[in-house]
Amino acid sequence: MCNLSRNNLSALKNRYPDLVDRLSQTTSLGEVVPAKNGLPTLKVSHNKKVYHLHSAYDPVREAARWAQNIYAAEDDTLLVCGIGLGYHINRLSLLYPKARIVAMEPDLSTFKTALNAVDLTSLINKENIVLYFGAEKKEINKIIEKQLNIYQPEKLKLLAYLPALRNAGDNFKELEESANAVVADHILHSNTLMRFSFDWTENFLCNLPATIQAPDVDILCGPFKGVPGVIVAAGPSLDKNIHLLKEIKNKAVIIAAGTAFKAILSLGIEPDLVVTVDGGEPNAVNFENVEVKDSVLIFSPVTYKSIPANFKGPKIVGAYDPYFMTWLENFIDEKRTLLKGGPSVANVSFDLAVKAGLDPIIFIGQDLAYTGGKTHSQRTIYEGRTVSGNEQLVEVEGYGGDKKVETSHSLACFLHWYEEEIPLVKDQVKIINATEGGARIPGTEEMPFREAIDRYLTKEYPIDKTIKRLAVKKDIPLDVIKNICFDLKETKKCIRRVKKYTRSGLQISQKLEDLYRSDEMPPLEKIDPLKEKLEYLDQKIFEQQKAFPWLEAVISPAYQKFARVGEEEAVEQIEKTRNIIEQSCAFYTDLNKAAEKIEEWINRPLDSFNFNK
């Protein structure tokens, strides 16, 4: 072994010890040869053609041109598909020394060749560079989660080193697709958090009386073990086989996603369970003017506030976010089964079916694609809706595997969730996709719903009677309600103090704003006392600890917006200070509005419990 290879392996062993073991099982690919200017480049064969993964003339110049065209902020997270000999990665690191760079390659084959011929110790040792070899979405996701601030999705940028990608095989395409999927999932999750942060907090407080009185989904985990389950989603293909649900009452637990609820009811069928998790007001339309005798509502504590209040039948609480439930556990000590929070109600319904022990689990209406150019079944509230001409679509493998189908980025995220979750349970439960259209869901067995009924849904069970026996409203001891209300009242006091301090903070920030209106730096004797007052007020705000479990959810986006101001480059100090003051005004305004809203929302459960005095 030459010194060069020995040094590379030593550096690799210190930082990536698992890669050293993988290298011993990897076959080298390609050959390191000199470019015209004498620097090494990497030559590989693909489809009987020979390619250079870096320039055959000047690889450093090529890398510099590529990196010069990248526009990023100092602290962005840059995902780069293609490592090669690392010229472009090192150049990117020089241009953005504070950025987090995740350099990815689908396997170790060309990297092993490079280790024996080129000094890669700088690439391996740089703290702001992370090397990843593979194409697993789960592993890429883990790496990104360590690097990313959830409230700043725009900080995540996916870059392709085109010279490497152009000349590489299908494994590079798989890596790029996986990375694209992970980035899309993170952006969707981040945008969902920021979009619904207010709604979720309001909904939880409004739903609090229903939440503490409803039994937990844990009551369903056991009594139905081995009973078949059918999850009904609202995709366009539901129109093909929804009529068959009439045949399976008490032969399978019928679980309806909220969007499919009215479609099922329109045929005179009541699902055993209907699941609702969406916190937005449009979700309420799925439950408006509904009269049921047998259906039981499985609701998330953060679902839209009118749904649990207006649903006349039995209710079971199915929490999937421990954030608010952790607070509730201070007062009610009972066993809870948290559902996995997927991006769609059908995802959450699937986890419910798994935890209940249903087997097999059968999907219908789970298109996850725009089958026939439609978005939903014609019996839903979205009847007649078609794909918008402005919507950016992606192609995924279709049901049956013989064609591609078009879907949205959001629906693709729902599909990615199944791709991650189904492998975890497929050895313990049979999963059948009987949608008969839409996207292929890896890990499921595809068959028509008619065939699934004939093969698996032949035995009757006392499903409706068992659910009604279990879904009984709880009697909450008066002292528990008193403790909850006392805590909410104390929280309200803290919220009122936050309102007071943020009003003062806004006034002082506006005075600073006036001082910085001229082009000259204001005198320190005017600035310093105002800054000291702001520091005092900030300290008093953050002393209101009882307020922050509620405020944190709604102020995080505002705080992140405020925190970004200090990142701006090439801005003169006085202009930078103006920007900070402007954002300070916005932050105090947003925090004050959040406090006002939360005080209003806290009054809802206090009024409901008759403890608002």
- If asked whether residues 495 and 445 sit together in one domain, one would say no
Single residue among 453, 470, 487 that ends a domain in this structure: 470
Residue 566 binned pLDDT confidence (cut-offs 50, 70, 90): very low
Residue 200 lies in a domain: no
- If asked whether residues 462 and 527 sit together in one domain, one would say no
- Residue with more model confidence, 417 or 322: 417
Residue 391 lies in a domain: yes
Residue 29 lies in a domain: yes
Side-chain half-sphere CA neighbours of 125 within 13 A: 9
Lowest mean pLDDT, pick from 17-21, 170-174, 404-408:
170-174
Residue 147: predicted pLDDT = 65
Q: How many of the other CB atoms lie within 10 Å of CB of 572?
A: 9
- If asked whether residues 449 and 407 sit together in one domain, one would say yes
The Cα angle at residue 594 between residues 591 and 597, in degrees rounded to 5:
155
Q: How many of the other CB atoms lie within 10 Å of CB of 280?
A: 12
Q: What percent of the chain has pLDDT over 90?
A: 43
Q: Is the pLDDT of residue 145 over 80?
A: no
Residue range 222-244: average pLDDT?
95
Record the tokens describing residue 52, joined without a space: 């250079």
Residue 367 lies in a domain: yes
- If asked whether residues 466 and 488 sit together in one domain, one would say no
Q: Is the pLDDT of residue 213 over 60?
A: yes
Q: Is 31 helix (H, G, I), strand (E, B) or coil?
A: strand
The domain containing residue 507 runs over which residues?
478-608
Name the CA dihedral angle for 379, 397, 229, 248, rounded to a multiple of 10 degrees.
50
* β-pairing verdict for 253-257 and 129-133: unpaired
Residue 199 lies in a domain: no
Residue range 329-354: average pLDDT?
89
- If asked whether residues 219 and 179 sit together in one domain, one would say no
Q: Is the pLDDT of residue 193 over 60?
A: no
Residue 609: predicted pLDDT = 87
Residue 563 binned pLDDT confidence (cut-offs 50, 70, 90): very low
Q: Is the pLDDT of residue 1 over 70?
A: no
Single residue among 442, 470, 498 that ends a domain in this structure: 470
Q: Is the pLDDT of residue 555 over 70?
A: no
Amino acid at 283: N
Residue 572: predicted pLDDT = 60
Residue range 406-417: average pLDDT?
88
- If asked whether residues 154 and 252 sit together in one domain, one would say no
- If asked whether residues 438 and 306 sit together in one domain, one would say yes
Residue 74 sits in a domain whose CATH number is 3.40.50
> Cβ(125)–Cβ(44) under 8 Å?
no
- If asked whether residues 460 and 583 sit together in one domain, one would say no
Q: Is the pLDDT of residue 571 over 50?
A: no
Residue range 147-156: average pLDDT?
64
Single residue among 470, 495, 522 that ends a domain in this structure: 470
Q: What percent of the chain has pLDDT over 70?
A: 88
- If asked whether residues 570 and 538 sit together in one domain, one would say yes
Residue 263: name the closest of 391, 377, 103, 400 by CA. Answer: 377
Residue 564: predicted pLDDT = 44
Residue 373 lies in a domain: yes
Residue 439: name the closest of 183, 182, 232, 235 by CA. Answer: 235
Residue 208 lies in a domain: no
> Cβ(304)–Cβ(203) under 8 Å?
yes
Record the tokens describing residue 610, joined without a space: 């008759």
- If asked whether residues 464 and 482 sit together in one domain, one would say no
> Cβ(96)–Cβ(71) under 8 Å?
no
Total structural domains in the chain?
A: 3
Q: Is the pLDDT of residue 185 over 70?
A: no
What integer best gives the mean pLDDT of the chain?
A: 86
Residue range 255-269: average pLDDT?
94
Query: Following DSSP, what letter does each residue of 376-412 receive, concatenated?
Result: S-TTSTTTT-B--TTS-EEEEEBTTSSSEEEEEHHHH
Residue 569 lies in a domain: yes
Residue 554: predicted pLDDT = 66
- If asked whether residues 565 and 510 sit together in one domain, one would say yes
> Cβ(12)–Cβ(19) under 8 Å?
yes
- Residue with more model confidence, 459 or 156: 459
d(CA 336, CA 324): 13
Phi/psi region, residue 311 (left: phi>0; alpha: psi -120 to 50; beta: rest), is: beta
Q: Is 8 helix (H, G, I), strand (E, B) or coil?
A: helix
| Residue at token pair 């470019």 | 35
- If asked whether residues 181 and 328 sit together in one domain, one would say no
